Amino acid sequence: MDMSALRDLGLSDGEIKVYLALLKTGLSKTGKLAGMAGVSSSKVYKILDRLEKKGLVSHVLKGKVKHFRALEPRRILDYLDESQAKLASRRQIIEGMLPELERQRKAAEEKPEGTVCSGFKAVTNLFRNMIDELEEGECYYVIGAGYGETPGIKQFFVSHHARRQKHGVWMKMLANFDEKGTLVGETKGKSAIRYLPHYLITNMEIVFYKEKAFIVLWTIEPTAFVIESKEAVKSFRKYFDALWKIAKG
């Protein structure tokens, strides 16, 4: 039986072993139970105490000796519901703290003029953050869009553009001519796309919005240079508008 779901629920290997042993043996003293579960007698009391607190085990006294039994397996669902309720409550607390934490972060550090992000997760997070920062109806711009040689990049952009459209964010894109007909279908929703001529094809992708821009190299291990500058974004916008006039639909 695959016990990974119980581990994901938060039960330790020791708790799983003791609980399963109790299911098989029924009412049991700790000595017998420790042997069946394969845990030391010094640890079995602590494990049973945790399982009782989680509502999965109970005990009775026979004379002065505790005997333990596993409660109905359905009680696992009760424990799951309680865990999810606690997580939801903690999430609300953290969400309430975020504005103040963010204010402290911004107050404590100088705003960098440029940073470098390396690796698939770090670079694709720039696109995730962009959607979080843009309001419904706002737009971002792309120059030199292409998929490069980064593994998994097309699959990422399928989900990215689906999320972009769900949030009502628009995109205006100048894609490389050799990507015509290869862009994932989700790219076309809430977007305006033209293609750069062959002589302007680049292996760099420039993305900009509001006061932020990032330049991406879609290599096997992608890298991005991030610029937070109002003037840089204005310059990229002028460059974009000039290229838009000569690009083809």
Q: What is the pTM of this model?
A: 0.58
Domains of the chain from N-terminus onward: 4-75 (1.10.10.10), 111-246 (3.30.870.10)
Residue 195 near residue 175 (C-beta atoms within 8 A): yes
Length of the chain equals 249
Q: What is the pLDDT of residue 150?
A: 87
Question: 49-104, pLDDT tens digit by residue?
Answer: 988 888 888 888 888 888 898 888 888 888 888 888 878 877 887 888 788 778 77
Q: What is the pLDDT of residue 142?
A: 94
Q: Give the C-alpha separation, 19 to 17, whole Å.
A: 6
Q: What is the pLDDT of residue 149?
A: 82
Helix (H, G, I), strand (E, B) or coil at 220: coil
Q: What is the pLDDT of residue 111?
A: 56
| Low-confidence stretches of the chain (pLDDT beneath 50) | none
Q: What is the pLDDT of residue 1?
A: 58
The token duo for 113 is 């003029």
